[in-house]
Amino acid sequence: MENEYLNGYHRMNTSDYGYWLPKGASTFAPEIDTTLYLVHILMVIMFVVWGIFFIMFLVQFRSGNEKKVVHSGYPKVIVPISMIAFVVIFDMYMLFGHDIPFWNHLKKDFPDAEKSTVVRIVAQQFAWNVHYPGQDGKFGRSRPELVDEKINPIGLDFDDPYAKDDITTVGQLRIPVEKPVIIHLTSKDVIHSFSLPVMRVKQDVIPGMSIPIWFEPTRTGNWQIACAQLCGNSHYNMKGIFKVQNQEDFAAWMAIQEAELPQDDEEVW
Amino acid sequence: MEIPFTVSERPDTGLTNPKFGIWLFLASEVMLFGSLFSSYIILRTGSLDWPVQSDELNITIGAVNTAILIASSLTMVLSWTALKEKQFKRFKLFIGLTILFAVLFLVLKIWLEYIPKIHHGHILSTNTFFAMYYLMTGLHALHILGGVVVMIFFWGPGSKMWQTNPDQFVNRIEVVGLYWHFVDLVWIFLFPTLYLL
Amino acid sequence: MTNAEYSRQSFWRQYIFSVDHKVIGLQYGLTALSFLLLGFMLMVLMRWQLAFPGEVIPWLTFVVIFILLGLAIVFLAGKKRPYLALNSLIFFGIAALIWYFTTGEERLPGGIMLPEFYNQLGTMHGTIMVFLGVVPLAVGAFGNYILPLQIGAPDMAFPRMNMVSYWVYFIGGVLMIISFFLPGGAAQSGWTSYSPLADINTGQTMWLVAMLFVIISSLLGAINFIVTTVQLRVEGMTWFRLPFFVWTQLITAFLLLLAFPSLQIGAIMQLLDRVAGSSFFIPAGIIQGGKVLEYSGGGNPLLWQHLFWFLAHPEVYVLILPAIGIITEVVTNNTRKPLWGYPAMVYSLFFIGFMSFLVYAHHMFITGMGTAVTTWFQTTTLIISIPSIIFLAVIVFTLWGGSIRFTTPMLFALAWVPMFGIGGLTGLPLGLAPPDIHLHDTYYVIGHFHYIVAPGSIIAFFAGIYYWFPKICGKKLNDNLGKVHFWGTIIGMNLTFAPMLVQGMAGVSRRLYDGGLGYDHAQPVLFLNEWMTWGAWIIGIFQIFFILNIVLTLRKKSRSEENPWDATTLEWATTSPPIAHGNFITEPFVYHGPYEYNVSVNGQNVPYLPQHKKMDIED
Ligand code: HEA
Ligand code: HEA
Ligand code: CUA
Ligand SMILES: [Cu+2]
């Protein structure tokens, strides 16, 4: 059983993982982590402060501890009210100071497509098909009728001139480091969820829609693409290889892929 | 111990139990049809090739059916007021008319709309518009059917209660009336949404 | 109908198709507890697979345990109490079900679980726990039995409709179980049943049909509860003299009434997609196995999620509000002082009820929602957590100045406070969109809501059962067994659910058949899977004390006092158990608020002043 899972996967960056958050590797990982830390600090403060009152009261007012029952609740109403006010203010700080502006940055400030790696990913039960636009920087058209699971999983239309130089891989996403990436996510069948824990990236992949996301890797490494949404029997096994490489390695790999492309006069289908 | 306020009104709320119950039921129905209309809007605005609805449906029959339902609402009110004035015969007449209108509505709907459409091959799997059309009008037709069954009961065997417990009988007819007006109202929204817009 | 006439009714009228809210309440209670047990059993099978992926499941051990439990009950019930022995059927039934599971090549070939069966178990665990276990227990059982008594009503407003809602629920439950036996097995698309997966997966049709029954049952029940509370309050029972439990049931009923219709529509649409070929939730050009599926397309998968979560978020408050009601009753009774901040509680309740319709899309942050929508839903989510904080503040500060008795129900109630605290607090990072990117669909979410529903709701129901058992059966459950049950359950639950938060932080996805074995990022926290499985076993083993406690107590001859907890609310104004028809011998009249403990009357301290006793309280 064990081997079946390990085969073919490179366990190199295991030092990135532990009991807490995986080590971040994208430009906005620190900001997401900040919001996570902030809210956990608030949670711990609340739990401890309420907990102290709770335990204190339980000990102090246990029955048999001969004391007259007092009626009007805690004598200083201001105590619970100020506790709640503290929470409200902290909440507002998190919302307006961090979460709302950051979400806007994430959804609105897309990098310039010219200066980024642009990739298209077509999810299916149970694989990630990665589609690079090739030299011309334009994705070829794809059509559902042309899909052939063995040779053309995304149904690329080779009559389209843009499609000629397109490169596709199954379950292998490679990108260069320190350059923004734009990924257009779509699905052939059901809803999947594209998840890269170290990049703090997660996006549902919905059939019938093409959803763009972006991030910028800050260091190289070998990780995995995970599927986070239940998508059928092998949901648990819908992994992909995710490599962030330096520019040269990436270019070298790209060159090999391009060399393997069928030539114009070759009859492939 | 009997359950209080089944027939008389509770002074501080001014309602009998069944009347309050039917209002709550209608609130839930509002949410039901509300969700349905919202789904319709979402599907229609998200669609690239929504057909021109008025070409697909028969506006005349829709309009006639609208008139029939409005008339049935009227006869429903008349049957209730007849009971209030203790004119049992007139009540029977008007509730009978209401039933008649309702059945007429269903007949028109099924024989002149559903069956010809199905013959033309326009079914749920044709496109989302027809799926939505059948779902919305079908659910509404089911409500009409339910109303018809209940009204036939109060027209026939159920009307014996007039002898034994007239107050409760009047209340029951009022409750049926509230339901009936709601079902008519739904159609008043359905008709323009599906046939005209 | 007099009481004597009532007891001359046929067996069927008295016990099976009864219209008495107390009998119906018990029917709901027993059915719901059985479903909880079943849901638990499904989950133990899953947890075994998660801890030891791909290994043979010791299903024979499970079967033997359940047969032994059943036999123990038969034996303990004895000849004189054959009706108790009937309950052993539940255990034999579950044993038979597990036996059946092992006999299918499509489920457990050679005792090794298949992924599709894992998904069935997960889906059915969630569905059964939420819709057939906790809600019927909270509303159907506790609400039905206690609410009319607490407001001094002779019965529910529509007794026959009450019976119908139980039986419709029962049919829904039976259909849900039957779905395991159909070709292709039970539903396997998660309890959330996201389209298009649910549109094309096997097993979903029966799930939808069963859900429609459950929905109709809930709608009928909700109408009944609201009318009863508003119309049948006895004289003198003004709004602000209602026990807080009644308030929670009232708001819960409104949530059920107004939220369920959206799932009703959703379920009908998904059913049509499956059986009539429509494509409400299916976009054009879906490809499976290399072939374009024959759907007209034009549907929207996200529409299902909107319809589902518009119900399911209010639904989660349906799981917790009655629990808060029970906790409030038990805590005030055992602190021996009035509830501090009763109006604040009531207003918070209204607020939570209203707001719960406005936050639902916080389950959908990752679907690619726009910025404005996201801003709205994060803000409302943080706002809705404020009333929960007020509830906890009120309960904690009510303890101040009291004279706290640590009875068994009180222990459960007290443990509920920090446990719900953890569950609720872990909702905050999920409620903010950026942290939710990392946490969405990981075990952190599973940990979040299990802390609320298991050591939250279920613990509250235990508190309620221990508290009201003397009312229902006239006998008090054994305190020592109760305390063993308490500690075992609390320890087991924390052992099970705390590691989930750790795994979630590390990024382990939920609904993984192999528990994360194949993912790099899961490796450091993989060993926790075993801990959690043992935790679940500990929970299970300590439930045996609970079941034994019930059987042994019912066997006991001696009865407890009529009002063993010295409580003030109206359910204790009648005999225990209450008379069969009409509840009260003479209709009570209410003079005071619900929690008048240790008040002074004529210069003297009265330890507890029941609502129906006429006395003038001094300040
Ligand atoms: C009873 C059930 C219940 C309750 C009450 C809640 C309450 C809350 N839930 Fe939860 N939730 C679920 C059940 C519940 N939830 C379920 C089942 C899911 C998953 C569904 C699925 O996907 O399958 C879910 C998922 C879920 C998500 C989606 C996560 C995701 O999928 O990415 C979110 C996001 O906002 C969320 C938020 C919240 C919030 C903010 C609250 C707030 O209401 C909580 C407010 C409470 C507090 C803030 C506590 C206050 C604490 C104190 C005052 C400290 C006290 C301490 C001591 C006394 C020691 N929940
Ligand atoms: C109310 C809801 C509820 C409750 C109570 C529980 C209770 C438990 N749940 Fe579950 N769970 C869900 C709702 C619930 N769950 C949902 C909605 C999901 C998501 C499903 C999905 O992904 O689609 C889920 C998923 C889920 C998973 C994740 C599966 C996955 O993602 O792959 C796990 C894993 O460990 C789990 C474990 C447990 C455990 C250990 C308990 C324990 O706490 C159980 C404790 C049980 C008891 C204490 C009952 C004891 C019974 C009795 C006392 C009865 C006595 C009987 C008689 C007297 C007749 N649950
Ligand atoms: Cu794809 Cu899960
Ligand atoms: Cu929610």
pTM above 0.90, yes or no: yes
Minimal Cβ distance to C261: which of B1, B6, B32: B32
**Judging by DSSP bridges, how do beta strands A240-245 and A221-227 pair with one another?**
antiparallel
What's the pLDDT at A64? 73
Question: Are A119 and A156 in the same domain?
Answer: yes
Determine the Cα–Cα distance for residues C572 and C561; give it in Å rounded to an integer.
11
Does any domain span residue A2? no
- Average confidence (pLDDT) over C104-124: 92
Element of type H or E holding C264: helix C244-275
Interface test with C, best of B2, B3, B133, B186 (most C CBs within 10 A): B3
Question: Are A252 and A124 in the same domain?
Answer: yes
Structural domain boundaries in chain C: 15-54+113-283+292-608
Q: Is the CB of A127 under 6 A from ligand 3?
A: no
Residue A1, pLDDT > 50, answer no
Question: How many CB atoms sit inside 10 A of residue C287's CB?
Answer: 22
Q: Do C520 and A201 touch (CB under 8 A)?
A: no
Q: Which has the minimum average pLDDT: A66-70, C445-449, C601-605? A: A66-70
Closest ligand 3 atom to residue A123 Cα is 1
Question: DSSP characters for C486-546?
Answer: HHHHHHHHHHHHHHHHHHHHTTPBSS-TTTTTT-GGGGGGTTHHHHHHHHHHHHHHHHHHH
User: Total structural domains in chain A?
Assistant: 2
CA A149-A152-A153 angle, to 5 degrees, is: 50
- Tens digits of per-residue pLDDT, C539-568? 999 999 999 999 889 888 888 888 999 999
Q: Which two tokens stand for residue B136?
A: 């919305």
Number of H helices, E strands in chain A: 5, 10
Which residue on chain C is closest to B27 by alpha carbon? C258
Q: Do C307 and B39 touch (CB under 8 A)?
A: yes
- Tens digits of per-residue pLDDT, C310-337? 999 999 999 999 999 999 999 999 999 8
Number of H helices, E strands in chain B: 8, 0
- Tens digits of per-residue pLDDT, B130-143? 999 999 999 999 99
The residue whose CA has the least distance to atom 51 of ligand 2 is C37
Question: Are A153 and A71 in the same domain?
Answer: no
Q: Which residue has the higher pLDDT, B182 or A15?
A: B182
Q: Is the CB of C123 under 6 A from ligand 2?
A: yes
Task: Please answer whether residues A147 and A176 qualify as being in contact, where contact means their C-beta atoms are separated by less than 8 angstroms.
Answer: no
- Tens digits of per-residue pLDDT, C138-168? 999 999 999 999 999 999 999 999 999 999 9
Q: Is the CB of A187 under 6 A from ligand 3?
A: no
Minimal Cβ distance to A232: which of C197, C505, C512: C197
Superfamily of domain C15-54+113-283+292-608: Cytochrome c oxidase-like, subunit I domain (1.20.210.10)
Q: How far does residue C116's CA lie from ligand 3's centre (Å)?
A: 13
Does any domain span residue A43? yes
C residues 294-353 lying closer than 8 A (beta carbon) to B:
295-300, 303, 306-307, 310
Residue type, C559: R
- Average confidence (pLDDT) over C508-533: 93
The residue whose CA has the least distance to atom 60 of ligand 1 is C427
Interface test with C, best of B20, B26, B40, B124 (most C CBs within 10 A): B124
Q: Closest approach of chain B CAs to the CA of C323, in angstroms?
A: 24
Element of type H or E holding A118: strand A117-124
- Average confidence (pLDDT) over A195-214: 95
Does any domain span residue A240? yes
Residue type, C401: G
What's the pLDDT at A6? 42
The residue whose CA has the least distance to atom 42 of ligand 1 is C385
Determine the Cα–Cα distance for residues C227 and C539; give it in Å rounded to an integer.
38
Does any domain span residue A23? no
Question: Are A153 and A49 in the same domain?
Answer: no
Task: Tell me, yes or no, if C82 comes closer than 8 A to chain B by beta carbon.
Answer: no
Q: Do B124 and C587 touch (CB under 8 A)?
A: no
For residue B17, give Cα distances in angstroms to B20, B169, C40, C113, C231. 5, 14, 39, 53, 7
Q: Is the CB of C33 under 6 A from ligand 2?
A: yes
Q: Could you tell me which residues come within 8 angstroms of residue A266 by beta carbon, excluding any fewer than 6 positions away? A: none
What is the CATH classification number for the domain harbouring A175?
Answer: 2.60.40.420
What's the pLDDT at C307? 97
* Domain B55-196, architecture per CATH: Up-down Bundle (1.20)
Q: Which residue has the higher pLDDT, B197 or C271?
A: C271
CA-CA-CA-CA torsion for C314, C317, C318, C321, nearest 10 degrees? -150
What's the pLDDT at C607? 86
Determine the Cα–Cα distance for residues C15 and B87; give it in Å rounded to an integer.
43
Q: Is the CB of C510 under 6 A from ligand 2?
A: yes
Among B185, B188, B183, B180, residue whose Cα is nearest residue B79: B180
Task: Tell me, yes or no, if A253 comes closer than 8 A to chain C by beta carbon.
Answer: no
- Tens digits of per-residue pLDDT, C588-606? 999 999 999 988 888 888 8
Question: Are A90 and A120 in the same domain?
Answer: no
Q: Which of C448, C457, C490 to mutate to test the pocket of ligand 1 (most atoms within 8 A of CB)?
A: C448
The residue whose CA has the least distance to atom 12 of ligand 1 is C449
Determine the Cα–Cα distance for residues B195 and B127; give it in Å rounded to an integer.
16
Does residue C109 sit in helix, strand or coil?
Answer: helix
Q: How many Cα atoms occupy the beta-carbon half-sphere of B39 within 13 Å?
A: 38
Does any domain span residue A21? no
User: Which residues from C are below 8 Å from B132, CB to CB?
Assistant: 280
Residue A73, pLDDT > 90, answer no
CA A249-A251-A257 angle, to 5 degrees, is: 105
Question: Are A184 and A55 in the same domain?
Answer: no
Q: Do A200 and C437 touch (CB under 8 A)?
A: yes
**Judging by DSSP bridges, how do beta strands C604-608 and C597-601 pair with one another?**
antiparallel
Task: Tell me, yes or no, if C282 comes closer than 8 A to chain B by beta carbon.
Answer: no
Domain range spanning residue A135? 113-259
pLDDT band (50, 70, 90) for residue C461: very high
Q: Which two tokens stand for residue C291?
A: 């072939």
CA A20 remoteness from chain centre:
16
Q: Could you tell me which residues come within 8 angstroms of residue B129 by beta carbon, excluding any fewer than 6 positions away? A: B44, B47, B50, B51, B53, B56
- Tens digits of per-residue pLDDT, A130-182? 999 988 888 988 888 888 888 888 888 888 888 888 999 999 999 999 999 99
Question: Are A76 and A205 in the same domain?
Answer: no
DSSP single-letter state for residue A152 = B
pLDDT band (50, 70, 90) for residue A263: low
- Tens digits of per-residue pLDDT, C62-73? 999 999 999 998
Residue B159, pLDDT > 70, answer yes
What's the pLDDT at C611? 92
Task: Please answer whether residues C523 and A14 qualify as being in contact, where contact means their C-beta atoms are separated by less than 8 angstroms.
Answer: yes
CA-CA-CA-CA torsion for A49, A50, A55, A59, nearest 10 degrees? 100
DSSP single-letter state for residue C136 = I
Question: Are A145 and A82 in the same domain?
Answer: no
Q: Could you tell me which residues come within 8 angstroms of residue C616 by beta carbon, excluding any fewer than 6 positions away? A: C601, C602
Does any domain span residue A36? yes
Phi first, then psi, for residue A155 (nearest 5°) are 70, 40
Task: Tell me, yes or no, if B15 comes closer than 8 A to chain C by beta carbon.
Answer: yes
Q: Is the CB of A231 under 6 A from ligand 3?
A: yes
Residue A9, pLDDT > 60, answer no
Residue A10, pLDDT > 60, answer no
- Tens digits of per-residue pLDDT, B56-67? 898 999 999 999
Does residue C123 sit in helix, strand or coil?
Answer: helix
**In chain A, % of residues over pLDDT 90:** 64
What's the pLDDT at C556? 85
Q: Which residue has the higher pLDDT, A219 or C85?
A: A219
DSSP single-letter state for residue A207 = B
CA-based R_g, chain C, Å? 24
**In chain C, % of residues over pLDDT 70:** 98
What's the pLDDT at B1? 62
Question: Are A103 and A140 in the same domain?
Answer: no
Q: Is the dihedral of CA B21, B22, B25, B26 positive or negative?
A: negative
What's the pLDDT at C604? 83
pLDDT band (50, 70, 90) for residue A3: very low
Task: Please answer whether residues C156 and C165 qualify as being in contact, where contact means their C-beta atoms are separated by less than 8 angstroms.
Answer: no
Average pLDDT, whole number, for chain C?
92
Task: Please answer whether residues C583 and C573 qualify as being in contact, where contact means their C-beta atoms are separated by less than 8 angstroms.
Answer: no
What's the pLDDT at C3? 58
Residue C379, pLDDT > 60, answer yes
Question: Are A181 and A98 in the same domain?
Answer: no
Q: How far does residue C128's CA lie from ligand 2's centre (Å)?
A: 9
Does any domain span residue A35? yes
Across the B:C interface, residue pairs with CB atoms under 8 Å apart total 124
- Tens digits of per-residue pLDDT, A74-104? 667 888 889 899 999 999 999 999 999 999 9
What's the pLDDT at A8? 45
The residue whose CA has the least distance to atom 1 of ligand 3 is A192
Residue A7, pLDDT > 60, answer no
Question: How many CB atoms sit inside 10 A of residue B100's CB?
Answer: 15
- Average confidence (pLDDT) over C403-428: 96
Which residue shows structure tokens 């007092």? A70
Question: How many CB atoms sit inside 10 A of residue C553's CB?
Answer: 18
Cis peptide before A250 (omega within 30 of 0): no
DSSP single-letter state for residue C404 = B
Task: Tell me, yes or no, if C55 comes closer than 8 A to chain B by beta carbon.
Answer: no
Distant-in-sequence contacts of A158-163, Cβ < 8 A, 24+ apart? A158/A268, A158/A269, A162/A133, A162/A136, A162/A138, A163/A139
